[in-house]
Amino acid sequence: MPGSFDRGLGKTVDWWLVGCYLLLLLIGWLNIYASIHSTEPASIFDWSARSGKQAIWMLTAFALDLLILFVIHPRLWEVLSPYAYIGVFFLLVLVIFVSRDVKGSHSWFELGPVKFQPAEISKITTSLLLAAVMSKPAFRLTNRRHFLWVAAIIGLPMLAILGESETGSALVYVGFIFVLYREGLSGWWLFLMGMAILLFILTLIAPGWVPVAVLLAVCLGYFLQVLRNSRREERVRRRTALTRTVLAFLAGVMVVFATDFVFNNVLQDHQRKRIEVLLGLKEDPAGVGYNVRQSMIAIGSGGFSGKGYLQGTQTTYGFVPEQSTDFIFCTVGEEWGFLGCLAVILLYVFMIWRIITDADKSRESFTRIYGYCLAACLFMHLFINIGMTIGLMPVIGIPLPLLSYGGSSLWAFSVMLFIFISLDRQEKKYF
């Protein structure tokens, strides 16, 4: 059957994803230029400016993309994943000790003019190893030993990154729970996680009895549900349900009490302040609140259709700090308005949607799990980053994938995405 074994590029590469990728890069690049643009505009290709540098990062990323797509055999990723994981983990730990303090975090390697952040690559290696381990035929999430392996694969780099004081990047790893959910983890875990976050917030913003009451209501609701759905004879089931309810309630109460302790003793000062500002517990317009306030002013002032490209007053005159990196979305919001924000968010949603559907269709567990990992990472970045710029999330410094200025992040997401495209292509070649 000629042709069936080696279908052409046009049929095998998911061009939709490539299109989204290129479009997001272009949007990012234009907005980076806008965010550094001031009244005396330099050329967008000025190599000493950020837009110029980003152009270089983009060109090198394209080279990497082509390399992954045409040179490296997709099978190699699975084979290499343990070594890559261990190597990167080593770098994650090493960086804590050798790096310079940059705003309190120790996450950058500096080799002459080149700087890079192992935490960005770690997302790829973790995803690869996770996919490799979980796609083994004998793997069962319900097996406690297997589950612990998975927890370790996710948890170790997360801890190392927390050690670098890069809370934001560490938080991204929480997204892997969605992958585990897809692979059979009980929905209860998601529910419990949601409850824990809810209780945490309620404890901070409401009087003490509110979280306890909510907890009680949820536990009783669960128990009554079980009672209704079970027949009298199913004593065991009912007894388990009762035990679970009581345990869950106790655990919840512990969360409530732990919140105070964690909030005041575990979190660092700046993290505590950011959460306080987000929840409206404290006003701090000049300090921690400054970023968010300025960011919301920039986005809010954009209105429906924005002030026009390079016309943003907040953007052009540098009211928003970190505007080309973590707060790049402000430029979109101010200059392109709600329409621009809608377009960018839809583009991301489409891309993640496409990755998930591609992954789900795949006959290779490795490809599927890896695809979900990629989708989860993109999703977490998207939600945390945009949420932060519009005051839905505390200020957590992570980049907006493909849009934010920065080589490490751009390379990492390019590589991560093209590994998936390559895996997906491999699949389509043969089926």
Binding site for other proteins (CB under 8 A): 38-39, 178, 181-182, 293-294, 296-304, 313-314, 316-319, 333, 337-338, 341-342, 345-346, 348-349, 352-353, 356-357, 360, 379, 383, 386-387, 390-392
Shortest CB 313 distance to other proteins, Å? 4
Shortest CB 391 distance to other proteins, Å? 8
Comparing C-alpha atoms, which of 90, 68, 21, 14 is closest to residue 413?
21
Shortest CB 376 distance to other proteins, Å? 9
| CB-count exposure of residue 190 (10 Å: 0-12, 13-18, 19+) | middle
**How far apart (Å, rounded) are the C-alpha atoms in residues 127 and 132?**
8
Would you give the DSSP letter of residue 174? G
Q: 164 or 335: whose CB is closer to other proteins?
A: 335
Shortest CB 261 distance to other proteins, Å? 30
CA separation, residue 387 to residues 31, 78, 138, 295, 337 (Å): 19, 34, 39, 11, 16
Shortest CB 352 distance to other proteins, Å? 6
Amino acid identity of 374? L
**Half-sphere exposure in the Cβ direction for 324 (13 Å, CA):** 21
Judge whether 63 and 56 are in contact, CB under 8 Å.
Answer: no
Q: 220 or 392: whose CB is closer to other proteins?
A: 392
Q: 186 or 240: whose CB is closer to other proteins?
A: 186
Shortest CB 344 distance to other proteins, Å? 10
Shortest CB 70 distance to other proteins, Å? 30
Q: 35 or 245: whose CB is closer to other proteins?
A: 35
Phi, psi of 422 (to 5 degrees): -65, -45
Q: 155 or 303: whose CB is closer to other proteins?
A: 303
Q: 241 or 330: whose CB is closer to other proteins?
A: 330
Q: 391 or 394: whose CB is closer to other proteins?
A: 391
Shortest CB 372 distance to other proteins, Å? 8
Distance of CA 428 to the CA centre of its chain: 28
Would you give the DSSP letter of residue 267? S
Judge whether 407 and 50 are in contact, CB under 8 Å.
Answer: no
Phi, psi of 105 (to 5 degrees): -110, 155
Helix axes 75-98, 407-430, angle to 10 degrees: 170
Q: 208 or 287: whose CB is closer to other proteins?
A: 287
Q: 68 or 382: whose CB is closer to other proteins?
A: 382
Shortest CB 191 distance to other proteins, Å? 12
Contacts 24+ apart (CB under 8 A), 352-358: 352/378, 352/379, 352/382, 354/14, 354/16, 354/17, 354/20, 355/17, 355/420, 358/14, 358/17, 358/420, 358/424
Name every residue whose Cβ is closer than 8 Å to that of residue 382 and which is 6 or more positions away in sequence.
Answer: 345, 348, 352, 400, 401
Judge whether 426 and 366 are in contact, CB under 8 Å.
Answer: no
